[in-house]
Amino acid sequence: MDLRATSQFRVRLLAISLSVAVSSGLMALKFYAYWLTGSTAILSDALESIINVVASSFALGSIIFAAKSPDPSHPYGHGKIEFFSAGFEGALIILAALGIFYQAWPQLLHPRGLPHLSGGVLILLGVNVVNLGLGAGLVLVGKRTQSLVLVADGKHILTDVYTTGGVLLGLGLVLLTGWYWLDGAVAFLVGVNIIITGAKLVRQAVAGLMDASAPQLLQEIAAILQKHRKSIWIDVHQLRARRSGDRVHVDFHLILPRDLSLEEGHREVKDLEKIFQSHFGPAADILIHLDPCEDPICPICGYNPCRHRQADTRQQSLWPPEVLTAKPEG
């Protein structure tokens, strides 16, 4: 593992380890608040926190596993474990929401009193402030280190912040009005939001496992090609790319002048590999297929002088993602 990848791995490992430790402590505080008050909403929030701890622990294992280098049995690396982890977290979020509905329904229909409610609300408020910082920090670190697992875990924790915020709102209204049915009603509504978030994580994980198109990554690659474009690079087509853990896989066809030697074509491929690896890191896997130019392509070719030219250059082809990913006609 190179220096940059090692540094990113350490940051990811530290962040997810902190998530496991902090989430465990906050979960214990929520159960203590439930013991004080007997609030169904607080119990539902505490149950959701169990999912946080389990999911963070699973994410810790997936980050360690995803960092393993490619081997003969996994030639493309182990990065897709992150999609399994994200899908697992999404499923757990949906399960937590169902648990919230189960706990909230009796309190909604047959409300009961809540002792020591003000003390429980103060504990819950402190927990929520810490959770907000933890969730936002994980999403930020996940985006910087390009880790879907950290982003998913951070978003999961932020859903816990929304849950706790909804519970605090409901309990605050209970304190003001004495309407104990609000304890169940607000928890029920927050559960709907949790299901939506969980469904989004599951959909994102399925898209990654199925190698769905990644528009942002394709746009990034298009910008790199356009920035470093040479006149000798006549055109690019059939671009395919995907991100898996800290690895980026890119392959495309590059059209070069037909009279270039094998050594010259190889040199252009190596130049492109260095450009991509400078941007994405040494873990980037680049596969470039060379195609010779043909006469009909002359109007978009900027390579000049060329002894095979049959027509003047009208305009070099632009390289937005939709053009780069297209297959050539015929």
pLDDT digits (tens, 9 = 90+) for 223-265: 999 999 888 888 899 999 988 766 788 999 999 988 888 999 9
- What pLDDT does 60 receive? 82
How much of the chain, in percent, has pLDDT values that exceed 90? 31
User: If 0-12 CB within 10 Å is exposed, 13-18 middle and 19+ buried, where does residue 280 land?
Assistant: buried
**Which CA distances in Å does 89 have to 47, 49, 67, 199, 241?**
14, 12, 19, 10, 25
Does the bond joining 305 to the residue before it have cis omega, within 30 degrees of 0? yes
Q: Of all helices (H) and strands (E), which one includes residue 290?
A: strand 285-292
- How confident is the model over 93-104, as pLDDT tens digits? 788 788 878 888
Identify whether the C-beta of residue 48 lies closer than 8 Å to the C-beta of residue 194.
yes
Q: What is the pLDDT of residue 232?
A: 86
Our measurement of the distance from residue 15's CA atom to the centroid of its chain's CA atoms, rounded to an integer in Å, reads 15
Contact 160, 127 (CB under 8 A): no
Pairwise CA distance, residues 133 & 142, whole Å: 14
Indicate the average pLDDT of the chain: 84
Measured between its terminal Cα atoms, the distance across the chain in Å is 43
* Strand order through the sheet with 247-256: 235-244, 247-256, 285-292
Q: H or E stretch including 104?
A: helix 81-109
* Measured distance CA(3)–CA(51) in Å, rounded: 34
CATH superfamily of 3-209: Cation efflux protein transmembrane domain (1.20.1510.10)
CATH number assigned to the domain with residue range 215-324, chosen from the 4 options 3.30.70.1350, 3.40.50.1820, 3.40.50.150, 3.40.720.10: 3.30.70.1350
- Higher pLDDT: 114 or 295? It is 114
Phi and psi at residue 254, in whole multiples of 5°?
A: -120, 125
Domain ranges of the chain: 3-209, 215-324
Identify the three-state secondary structure at position 136.
helix
pLDDT of residue 61: 77
Q: Return the minimum-mean-pLDDT range out of 15-19, 65-69, 168-172.
A: 65-69
As a whole number of angstroms, the distance between CA 199 and CA 166 comes to 20
Is the predicted pLDDT of residue 86 greater than 80, yes or no? no
Q: Summarize the confidence of residues 187-209 as an average pLDDT.
A: 82
pLDDT at 1 over 60: no
Check residue 280 and give its pLDDT: 85
Q: Please tell me the distance from the alpha carbon of residue 45 to that of residue 62, in angstroms, as a whole number.
A: 26
CA distances from 162 to 7, 65, 107, 168 (A): 32, 31, 20, 10
The residue behind tokens 């015929």 is 330
Provide, rounded to the nearest whole percent, the portion of the chain with pLDDT above 70: 95
> pLDDT value at position 107?
84
Q: CB of 170 within 8 A of CB of 185?
A: yes
Give yes or no for a contact between 239 and 262, defined as CB atoms under 8 angstroms apart. Answer: no
47 pLDDT exceeds 90?
no
Return the closest-CA partner of residue 105 out of 59, 43, 161, 12: 43
Residue-level pLDDT at 15: 92
Instruction: Kindly indicate the confidence band of residue 208, based on its pLDDT and cuts at 50, 70 and 90.
Output: confident
pLDDT tens column, 261-293:
899 999 999 999 999 988 887 778 899 999 988
> What 3-state DSSP class applies to 157?
helix
Contacts of 67-73 spanning 24+ positions with Cβ under 8 A: 67/1, 67/5, 67/9, 67/12, 67/245, 67/246, 69/1
Q: Which two tokens stand for residue 142?
A: 């996940």
pLDDT at 177: 93
pLDDT digits (tens, 9 = 90+) for 316-328: 777 888 878 887 7
C-alpha of 316 from chain center: 36
pLDDT of residue 4: 65
